[in-house]
Amino acid sequence: MSQKIKVMVVDDSALVRKVITDILESDKDIEVIGTANNGKSAVFKNLTLNPDVITMDIEMPIMDGLEALQEIIKTNPKPVIMMSVLTQYGAEATFRALEFGAIDFIPKPSNLLAMSMDDIAELLISKVKAVARISLKISHSKDIMNRQSTKLTVDSNQKRVKKIVGIGTSTGGPSALQRVLQKLPGNFPSPILVVQHMPPGFTKAFAERLDSLCYVSVKEAEDSEEAVDGCVYIAPGDSHIVMEKMNNKRIIRLSQSDKVSGHRPSADVLFQSMVKADLENNIGVIMTGMGRDGAMGIKEIHNNGGYTIAQNESTSVVYGMNRVAVEMGAIDAVVDLDSIPDEIVARI
């Protein structure tokens, strides 16, 4: 890189600020240009230091991370990565932060977490590098909630071939997924399996939040359960999700097998299993995210008669996974984020 990525670290703990700074500065392309111990200071320093990326704690004195995030988005928008604690409040606040305009989150080191310091360090550095040069596309939570009234309809009397819908996404995915799933009707005639790259422990809270906001049911997937129509199954963090067909039933399997395309769960694993379970009757969707996970798998869906959809560049937080799939010739329709549900329903 011609210029180092400038990062501001915001946390009320001096120890955490030092740990995060040391992690980031272990990479030659990153420089921590300032720190702040509360949200008010962070808002001011964002204007004076003008960092490329901000890491933001949620619980802080004077002004908390959620308030500071909203001020930053209003006054000098920057990619903000939230540092999240694995508690019910921490998870809820994290998903609210994503609605308010945060780009992504990583877990704070904790004994509740099934991630090592090395894993967290690798995740933080990769996310900072991925979001450093993006132009922000902010969707406020009010806009997202208002979209619920524009849900689509499905004719429940229409005879149709049973299909499987698979969605793969990463950075920028949580709020984008919410936008897509909120438009789907409760009588959606297929199961939907989702790979959202997310640390272990957070996917259950994410699924519960989506379930409270959507007409379709949303849950964290469980091993050996039957996939039913009108239900969305989120792959648990650190588990691959696979679709199998047994005695005419669609069964979900979870596995701890090796990472694929650098990820577990992997969208490639999901999409390839859909082809094995049902050669032609698949709809694959690949959305915003860094890297290339899902591109090979969605090409298999495309090559075997399924229908494939990619989120376009202009509405993607990171045009990575979907870009690779488009460039490979794996995609039937490239559409903006708010057209993805319409495209799914039209093909179901």
- Choosing from 41, 84, 139, 170, the catalytic residue is 170
- Choosing from 84, 104, 175, 197, the catalytic residue is 197
Task: Identify whether 197 is a catalytic site residue.
Answer: yes
What is the pTM (predicted TM-score) of this model? 0.88
In a domain, 273, yes or no: yes
Whether 112 has a pLDDT exceeding 60, the answer reads no
CATH number at residue 122: 3.40.50.2300
Whether 87 has a pLDDT exceeding 80, the answer reads no
pLDDT at position 143: 46
Where a domain ends, among 131, 157, 192? 131
- List pLDDT tens digits, range 20-44: 999 999 999 999 999 999 999 999 9
Same-domain pairing of 115 and 177? no
Contacts of 178 by beta carbon, 8 Å cutoff, 6+ apart: 99, 144, 210, 213, 214
In a domain, 93, yes or no: yes
In a domain, 337, yes or no: yes
Same-domain pairing of 150 and 124? no
- Choosing from 293, 302, 316, 339, the catalytic residue is 293
Same-domain pairing of 307 and 191? yes
Q: Band of the pLDDT at 136, cuts 50, 70, 90?
A: low
pLDDT at position 348: 87
Label residues 55-82 b or e (16+ Cβ within 10 Å = b).
bbbbebeeebbbbbbbbbbeeeebbbbb
pLDDT at position 26: 95
Where a domain ends, among 102, 131, 160? 131
In a domain, 138, yes or no: no
CATH number at residue 231: 3.40.50.180
Same-domain pairing of 252 and 148? yes
Structure tokens at 223: 């091993």
Same-domain pairing of 69 and 165? no
Decide: 198 and 177 in contact? Cβ < 8 Å: no
d(CA 131, CA 5): 10
Decide: 83 and 68 in contact? Cβ < 8 Å: no
Whether 140 has a pLDDT exceeding 50, the answer reads no
d(CA 246, CA 253): 11
Same-domain pairing of 188 and 305? yes
Structure tokens at 345: 């329903």
Percent of the chain predicted with pLDDT > 70 = 91
- Is the alpha carbon torsion for 131, 137, 138, 144 positive or negative? negative
Whether 267 has a pLDDT exceeding 80, the answer reads yes
Task: Identify whether 263 is a catalytic site residue.
Answer: no
> How many domains does one find in the chain?
2
Write out the residue range of the structural domain in which residue 33 sits: 5-131
In a domain, 176, yes or no: yes
d(CA 300, CA 308): 10
Q: Band of the pLDDT at 111, cuts 50, 70, 90?
A: low
Same-domain pairing of 121 and 240? no
Of residues 98 and 2, the one with the higher pLDDT is 98
pLDDT at position 54: 97
d(CA 156, CA 225): 24
In a domain, 139, yes or no: no
